[in-house]
Amino acid sequence: MKIGFVQFAPALGRLEATMQALERLIPRAAGASLLVLPELCNSGYNFRSAEEAWRTSEEVGDSVFLRLLASLCREHGFHIVSGFNERQGDHLYNSAVLVGPDGYVGRYRKLHLFMNEKDFFEPGDEGLPVFDIGACRLGMLVCFDWIFPEAWRILAMKGADVICHPSNLVLPGLAQRAVPIRALTNRVYVVTANRIGSEGDLTFTGMSTIADPKGDLLAQAPPAEEAVTVVDADVGLARDKKITARNDLFADRRPDAYGMLLAGG
Ligand code: ACM
């Protein structure tokens, strides 16, 4: 299968401009099975007020942004994972959504909120789902989730072959260095789709990254330019959890010694 990312700058509060950019960029990924877009792609990131966060949110069932993604998926035969400013009832979630040729498939709500996100969003309340899209099984994490190894491990243990990671990274280079190691220690593919550009006092760091289950870097975009990148991925490699002839990533775990993780420290 082929997996990829679109690195660009979503336009804060200007959904029409963001959708025009995606209509221009996404067709360049034709031939991919799975494409990942940045965090909060339908809204932008650095809200100046709660009102702005609210105004730029959409409901999953009534989203022009998701309708555009679904039509691009139908046209090109791929699935897309995108960051999504999600409204449900009185609440906002910093979500990742999975869309395919038949429309919306499912979502993940960011568990670990970063900095001012805590002023606007509820923390995720639906755990860490894994979805089977035929070509692979995938899980989703959003940006700052990268620093919590537990989340990656759970997705791998639930059978994810590919972890899709929509991001708006601002700490220079940290996640981009960690992602190949997350891929290696869980033997999964990781696609980190980061954004570029600035909003207010934040500058986003680009360098969207794809790593394979051996921890090898398959692709890395430049720090400040648009990029559409697609690489080959072998799902069989992600399903082989053997480290040596006598070591298996999951069978050799020692949950009897890990109780402190569940107790919360
Ligand atoms: C981040 O979680 N957007 C840094």
> Using CA positions, which residue lies closest to atom 2 of ligand 1?
144
170 lines ligand 1 (CB under 6 A): yes
Residue 155 has, within 13 A of its CA and on its CB side, a CA count of 34
Tokens of 159: 């059978």
Q: Residue 125 burial by CB count (10 A; 0-12/13-18/19+): exposed, middle or buried?
A: exposed
**Ligand 1 centroid – CA 45 distance (Å):** 9
Distance CA 15, CA 91 (A): 20
How far is 119 from 127, CA to CA, in rounded Å?
Answer: 21
> What is the reported pTM?
0.98
DSSP string, 9-57: -PPTT-HHHHHHHHHHHGGGGTT-SEEE--TTTTT-S--SSHHHHHHT-
Pocket test for ligand 1, best of 111, 115, 146, 192 (most atoms within 8 A of CB): 115
Q: For residue 169, how far is its CA from the centre of ligand 1 (angstroms)?
A: 5
Which of the residues 41, 143, 164, 226 is marked catalytic?
Answer: 143
CA distances from 209 to 23, 27, 37, 95, 96 (A): 22, 20, 12, 20, 17
Contact 38, 194 (CB under 8 A): yes
Q: 131 by DSSP, 3-state: which?
A: strand
> Domains of the chain, with CATH numbers?
2-262 (3.60.110.10)
Q: What pLDDT does 73 receive?
A: 98
Q: Please say whether the beta carbons of 13 and 52 come within 8 A.
A: yes
The two structure tokens encoding residue 187: 């033997």
Is 110 tagged catalytic? yes
Low-confidence ranges of the chain (pLDDT < 50): none
- Rounded CA gap, 115 and 98, in Å? 25
Question: Is 226 one of the catalytic residues?
Answer: no
Which one, of 81, 235, 79, lies nearest residue 159 by Cα?
A: 235
In this structure, the residue with its CA closest to atom 3 of ligand 1 is 168
Atom of ligand 1 nearest to the CA of 40: 3
- Residue 145 Cβ contacting ligand 1 at under 6 Å: no
Best of 85, 108, 143 to mutate for ligand 1, by most ligand atoms within 8 A of CB?
143
User: Which residue type sits at 65?
Assistant: F
Measured in Å, residue 242 CA sits from the centre of ligand 1 at 33
* Closest approach atom of ligand 1 to CA 169: 4
Q: Would you call 72 helix, strand, or coil by DSSP?
A: helix
Q: Quick one: which of 163, 155, 157 has its CA closest to 251?
A: 157
Which of 73, 110, 199, 226 is catalytic? The answer is 110
Ligand 1 binding pocket includes 144 (Cβ within 6 Å):
yes
pLDDT at 265: 57
Other residues' Cβ atoms within 10 Å of the Cβ of residue 50: 11
